[in-house]
């Protein structure tokens, strides 16, 4: 583009909003023109997030103070349940990536069941494209509204979808044991996120009831060509960032774990952000921290006929803001990796 894309971030005072800013200040085709935060309106972003001071950014404002005539593209990083009405009120010419769960589920009745209220913008749901880029790249390119995938669904679907499409694993026997850093719960003060509640221990939550289950099942059902119900249990870990999904699968007759690994290598050959590790290597969350990468490992189980898939991402980058920028790049015709080239931080 001859001029920079004018971008607004709605919900810039949360973790995913801050990650969008961190990544976009280095994007050569983007200019941040509006940052919103209802409770922090009027403050410089550097006052809310000192690590983002000194970048000549606009001050935080309320959504109704944004001049939409000066905006080309919107990232919506608002809480679940608040986004549908906001996006419905925006000028129809704007392209949008929504980081909440509000448009991820295709079926509005399923959404109402899991999120506890009727969908408030069903007319927009029909045009929303699910933005798991490596699985839906062409649809994302032509989209106006993209539903950015959840963190657990991203880490879980990337290893599963190619295998299900090829019939290499059985769709009726999938167990996902996932673990996430505390930032996945957001920045609001909550008792369960206090240091004394999280440090020096781990615990499961949302057991048999986590809202990411239907999102994962939606994707794996499409890949398998039939309805799939799976086991999904998330756990909270005493770390800030990262997701590890340990996925236990049953092999199709005559298939080995080596076949799974070969299929994944072929599926992600040439992908910038997804890498299948050599046999015998287990991915670690510390090796993707701060990056848009997903690392996948494949192991034969000791139980005959079964395999173990391991997948790691940074929940705030590939699991949220990085993937959102990846989607924006595709929607706007930019190189897909632009603004996301940074290597992981280690240690």
- The tens digit of pLDDT for each residue in 146-157 reads 999 999 999 999
**Domain contains 135:** yes
Statement to judge: residues 179 and 65 lie in one domain: no
What's the rounded Cα separation, in Å, for the pair 74 and 96? Answer: 5
pLDDT at 246: 98
Report the interhelical angle of 15-24 vs 322-332 (nearest 10°): 50
Residues 168 and 305 in one domain: yes
User: What pLDDT is stored for residue 195 in this prediction?
Assistant: 84
Of 151, 171, 251, 276, the active-site residue reads 151
Are 220 and 287 within one domain?
Answer: yes
* Same-domain check for residues 255 and 194: yes
The Cα–Cα gap between 184 and 151 comes to: 8
Cα 81 off chain centre by: 17
Q: Is residue 340 a part of any domain in this protein?
A: no
What's the count of helices (H) and strands (E) in the chain, helices before strands?
11, 14
Within 10 angstroms of residue 280's Cβ, the number of other Cβ atoms is 8
Is residue 341 situated within a structural domain? Answer: no
Same-domain check for residues 108 and 124: yes
Give yes or no: 294 in active site: no
Inside any domain, residue 156: yes
For position 2, what pLDDT does the model report?
Answer: 58
Co-location of 127 and 174 in the same domain: no
Alpha-carbon span 220 to 159, nearest angstrom: 10
Token pair belonging to 316: 């705030």
Q: Which residues of the chain have pLDDT under 50?
A: 1
State how far the Cα of 102 lies from the Cα of 120, in Å rounded to an integer: 9
Give residue 204's pLDDT.
96
pLDDT value at position 144? 98
Same domain, 101 and 162: no
Q: What is the CATH number of the domain that holds 110?
A: 3.40.50.720
| Beta strand segments in 39-168, E | 60-61, 73-76, 95-98, 129-130, 145-147
Q: Which residue is listed with tokens 């026997």?
A: 173
**Residue 171 resides in a domain:** yes
**Whether residues 92 and 221 fall in one domain:** no
Note whether 170 and 310 are same-domain residues. yes
Q: How many domains does the chain have?
A: 2
Residue 25: count other Cβ atoms within 10 Å of its Cβ.
16
Does residue 347 sit within a domain? no
Percent of the chain beyond pLDDT 90? 93
Question: Which sign does the torsion angle of CA 268, 270, 272, 278 carry?
Answer: positive
> Do 11 and 141 fall within a single domain?
yes
Same domain, 95 and 157: no
Residue 337 placed within a domain? no
Residues 44 and 107 in one domain: yes
Element (H, E) at 153: helix 151-165
> 343 lies in a domain?
no
- Contact at 8 Å (CB) between 122 and 111? no
* Residue 188, pLDDT score: 73
Whose structure tokens read 């986590």?
A: 210
Give me the CATH number covering residue 243: 3.30.360.10
* Domain span holding position 31: 5-149+318-332
């Amino acid at each position: 583009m001859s001029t920079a894309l004018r971008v607004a971030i709605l919900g810039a005072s949360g973790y995913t909003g801050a990650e969008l800013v961190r990544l976009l200040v280095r994007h050569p085709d983007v200019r941040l023109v509006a940052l919103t935060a209802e409770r922090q309106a009027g403050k410089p972003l550097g006052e809310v997030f000192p690590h983002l001071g000194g970048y000549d950014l606009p001050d935080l404002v309320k959504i109704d103070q944004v001049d939409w005539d000066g905006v080309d593209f919107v990232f919506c990083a608002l809480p679940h349940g608040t986004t549908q009405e906001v996006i419905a009120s925006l000028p129809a010419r704007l392209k949008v990536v929504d980081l909440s769960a509000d448009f991820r589920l295709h079926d509005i009745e399923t959404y109402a069941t899991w999120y506890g209220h009727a969908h408030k913008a069903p007319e927009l749901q029909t045009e929303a494209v699910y933005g798991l880029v490596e699985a839906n790249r062409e649809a994302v390119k032509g989209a106006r509204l993209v539903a950015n995938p959840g963190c657990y669904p991203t880490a879980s679907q990337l290893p599963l979808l190619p295998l299900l499409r090829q019939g290499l694993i059985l769709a009726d026997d999938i167990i996902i044991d996932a673990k996430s850093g505390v930032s996945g719960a957001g920045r609001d003060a909550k008792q369960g996120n206090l240091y004394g509640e999280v440090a020096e221990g781990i615990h499961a939550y949302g057991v048999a009831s986590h809202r990411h289950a239907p999102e994962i099942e939606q994707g794996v059902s499409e890949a398998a060509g039939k309805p799939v119900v799976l086991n999904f249990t998330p756990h909270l870990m005493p770390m800030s960032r990262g997701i590890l999904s340990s996925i236990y699968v049953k092999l199709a007759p005559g298939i080995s774990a080596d076949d799974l690994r070969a299929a994944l290598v072929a599926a992600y050959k040439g992908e910038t952000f997804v890498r299948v590790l050599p046999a015998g290597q287990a991915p670690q969350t510390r090796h993707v921290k701060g990056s848009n990468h997903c690392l996948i490992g494949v192991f034969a189980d000791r139980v005959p006929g079964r395999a173990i898939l391991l997948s790691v991402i940074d929940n705030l980058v590939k699991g949220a803001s990085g993937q959102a920028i990846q989607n924006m790049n595709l929607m706007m015709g930019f190189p897909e990796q632009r603004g996301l080239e940074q290597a992981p931080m280690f240690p």
